Amino acid sequence: MNMNDIERALRQLRLSGIHATLETRLMQAQASQQPFLETFWAILQDFDWRFNPKLPRQACFELHTLKFIAEGGNALIIGKPGTGKSHVAKAVAYQATLQGYHVRYLEADAELARHALAAHDEEQRMLRECTEPDLLVLDDLFLARRISEASAELLQTIVHRRYKLRRSIVVTSNRVIQDWGKYLGDNTTATTILDRLMHHAAMLEFEGKSYRLKEAAARIARGTSHDA
């Protein structure tokens, strides 16, 4: 394991925030001979809890303990765009990999659409890959609003299989669950999916302002139109 491996893993988990500050944190830790937990805490502090004071901070920390994985529970992180839902889901996923859990992260809509159209073998492989890990992260479900009937069926199968095996799923979505029937195209499918997802689940509501917009505004103020 070297820095390249770590950077690759962070990129795969799309934890660019942690990636960006990792070298600095590493140097700080080495210079001050900080214990690992303190270093890790500093990495987590990169998230500004004051920016959206209504975020369920305790529930995020609770997720970060990974107890829910040991218990086969789920987490639904629902709320406004840019409030840090994916950030928190990825931080939890990353922590799980550090603890030796087998984790799979998917950008939900795109991955479901791609595999719902795939040949039988390919679809079976995807199902296996979504069933086997200890933790599955389905990021940004219903980003594209309605998903196809085939995608909805695939999602239902994944949720059912993992439920039977008591394996955890973390879902993030901008869509309130009351509207899921609309995005799944069918209320019965929505009910069976939600029944299983919510049976042993933490519900985290992310209310607040978009950090993306804040960053974009800061860039405009600096006179640059894109990420530096």
Angle at 187 (CA atoms; ends 182, 188), nearest 5 degrees: 150
Q: Report helix, strand or coil for 118.
A: coil
Alpha helices in 132-206 (DSSP H): 149-164, 180-184, 187-199
Compute the distance between CA of residue 192 and CA of residue 184 in angstroms, rounded to an integer. Answer: 11
Question: In the complex, what is the shortest distance from the CB of residue 147 to ligand ADP, in angstroms, rounded to a whole number?
Answer: 18
Closest CA to 115 of 147, 69, 72: 147
Q: Which residues bind ligand ADP (CB under 6 A)?
A: 17, 47-48, 51-52, 81-87, 172, 206, 211-212
Please identify, using beta-carbon distances, which residue of 94 and 206 lies nearer to ligand ADP: 206
Residue whose entry in the numeric block shows the structure tokens 């059912």: 160
Select from 82-90, 149-157, 160-168, 195-203 the region that touches Mg ion (CB under 5 A). 82-90
Cβ(83)–Cβ(75) below 8 Å: no
Question: In the complex, what is the shortest distance from the CB of residue 82 to Mg ion, in angstroms, rounded to a whole number?
Answer: 8
Select from 18-26, 123-131, 137-145, 147-155 the region that touches Mg ion (CB under 5 A). 137-145
Please identify, using beta-carbon distances, which residue of 85 and 115 lies nearer to ligand ADP: 85
The Cβ-side half-sphere exposure at 155, using a 13 Å CA radius, reads 35
Please identify, using beta-carbon distances, which residue of 116 and 138 lies nearer to ligand ADP: 138
Please identify, using beta-carbon distances, which residue of 110 and 150 lies nearer to ligand ADP: 110
Question: In the complex, what is the shortest distance from the CB of residue 62 to Mg ion, in angstroms, rounded to a whole number?
Answer: 20
Q: Which does 101 bind (CB under 5 to 8 A by kind): Mg ion, ligand ADP, none?
A: none
Question: In the complex, what is the shortest distance from the CB of residue 174 to Mg ion, in angstroms, rounded to a whole number?
Answer: 8
What is the arrangement of strands in the sheet containing 201-206, beginning at the earlier edge strand? Answer: 103-107, 135-139, 168-173, 74-79, 201-206
Q: Cβ-closest residue to Mg ion?
A: 86
Q: Using CB under 5 A, which of 109, 111, 134, 140 touches Mg ion?
A: 140
Q: Using CB under 5 A, which of 74, 86, 156, 173 touches Mg ion?
A: 86
Question: In the complex, what is the shortest distance from the CB of residue 80 to Mg ion, in angstroms, rounded to a whole number?
Answer: 10
Please identify, using beta-carbon distances, which residue of 156 and 173 lies nearer to ligand ADP: 173
Compute the distance between CA of residue 10 and CA of residue 4 in angstroms, rounded to an integer. Answer: 10
Compute the distance between CA of residue 189 and CA of residue 147 in angstroms, rounded to an integer. Answer: 12
Closest CA to 89 of 68, 63, 55: 63
Positions that interact with Mg ion (CB under 5 A) = 86, 140
